[in-house]
């Protein structure tokens, strides 16, 4: 008589009920943050060619989308502006205009959905005529300290508008401490900072840059002098440590799918809320493969999102947030 081991791992995979009972990680709409692209006007919906089913929306339609998020249990949205060319300047002054596109949209959202968290992007690339996240000199070098001064003004204007979380995505040195002090001095003690601490210089951002119209401004330049080299994980850990020491409440890994190792390492090393961004290029790949019937979209998207949770992410920024929430509710 053949002898079998007493432990048979397949017992825990016998049927769906058993698999759900012993599941180590689950997805919930509360895990998601929906990035939204806001543009000027009323009733404006502009499809983004590189990101199927994602549109730039005027503030009134952004509010409608926020209503759907509330209905399906998504706790937060993140705003990214597509400014007009005439509002793009060498020094990005429109970034801290209290009557600017983002600031107006934040106020409109909070007037209609006060309990929905609003996250705002703190960076200058949507506002600069050269497409860089910071100010530049005559040689085209991105200036660190001068940029931080402007970022502080931008973050403060977002806080004044009612943003719950400001999210510096610029990767300038020292900006978290400066923004935190600026917010404290102005009495915004409860405005949280989500630091894009582990943001890698990635080609997977290209569809996003088209969406906010910074690719055309950037031209042949790149952002490698301030975003992380994809080869360097120890530098990413150091960046996170510095941002936490300067007052970051949450940290971000970006992109997501190619950097799951960093999500896991950061979560384990620092035990702080760790977010991940499934970026535009990752979204576009899944959409393209699904369109060609190379994969089942729903199954693969949910598997991808689950991988972020398994790696240790507390929250996931994804353009699939609303669709995924609907799938989970169904």
Spatial distance between the Cα atoms of 202 and 125, rounded to a whole number of angstroms: 15
* 158 contacts 144 by C-beta, under 8 angstroms: no
How is residue 126 written in tokens? 């949507």
3-state SS record for 28-87 = CHHHEEEEEEECCCCCCEEECCCCCCCEEECHHHHHHHHHHHHHCCCCEEEEEECCCHHH
Spatial distance between the Cα atoms of 110 and 70, rounded to a whole number of angstroms: 12
Spatial distance between the Cα atoms of 87 and 92, rounded to a whole number of angstroms: 8
Active site residues: 199, 254
Q: Which residues are within 8 A (CB) of 18 and not within 5 positions of it... i.e. 6 or more apart?
A: 11, 12
Spatial distance between the Cα atoms of 93 and 153, rounded to a whole number of angstroms: 10
Spatial distance between the Cα atoms of 123 and 279, rounded to a whole number of angstroms: 17
How is residue 205 written in tokens? 């951002």
Per-residue DSSP letter, 221: -
């Amino acid at each position: 008589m053949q002898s079998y081991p007493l432990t048979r791992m397949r017992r825990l995979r016998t049927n769906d009920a058993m698999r759900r009972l012993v599941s180590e990680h689950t997805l919930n709409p509360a895990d998601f943050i929906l990035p939204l692209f806001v543009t000027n006007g009323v009733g404006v919906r502009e499809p983004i060619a590189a990101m199927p089913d994602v549109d730039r929306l005027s503030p009134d339609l952004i509010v409608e989308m926020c209503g759907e998020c509330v209905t399906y249990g998504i706790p937060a949205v993140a705003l990214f502006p597509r400014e007009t060319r005439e509002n793009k300047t060498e020094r990005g002054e429109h970034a801290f205009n209290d009557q600017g596109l983002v600031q107006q949209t934040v106020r409109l959202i909070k007037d209609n959905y006060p309990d929905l968290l609003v996250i705002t992007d703190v960076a200058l690339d949507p506002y600069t005529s050269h497409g860089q996240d910071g100010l530049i000199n005559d040689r085209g070098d991105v200036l660190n300290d001068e940029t931080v001064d402007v970022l502080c003004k931008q973050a403060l204007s977002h806080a004044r508008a009612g943003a719950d979380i400001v999210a510096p995505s610029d990767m300038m040195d020292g900006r978290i401490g400066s923004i935190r002090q600026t917010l404290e001095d102005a009495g915004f003690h409860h405005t949280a900072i989500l630091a894009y601490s582990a943001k890698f210089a990635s080609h997977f951002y290209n569809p996003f840059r088209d969406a906010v119209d910074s690719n055309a401004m950037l031209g042949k330049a790149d952002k490698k002098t301030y975003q992380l080299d994809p080869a360097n994980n120890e530098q990413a850990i150091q960046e996170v440590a510095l941002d936490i020491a300067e007052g970051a409440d949450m940290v971000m890994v970006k992109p997501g799918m190619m950097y799951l190792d960093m999500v896991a390492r950061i979560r384990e090393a620092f035990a702080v809320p760790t977010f991940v961004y499934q970026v535009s290029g990752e979204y576009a790949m899944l959409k393209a493969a699904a369109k060609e019937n190379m994969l089942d979209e729903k199954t693969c998207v949910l598997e991808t999102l689950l991988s972020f949770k398994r790696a240790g992410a507390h929250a996931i920024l994804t353009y699939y947030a609303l669709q995924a929430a609907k799938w989970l509710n169904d």
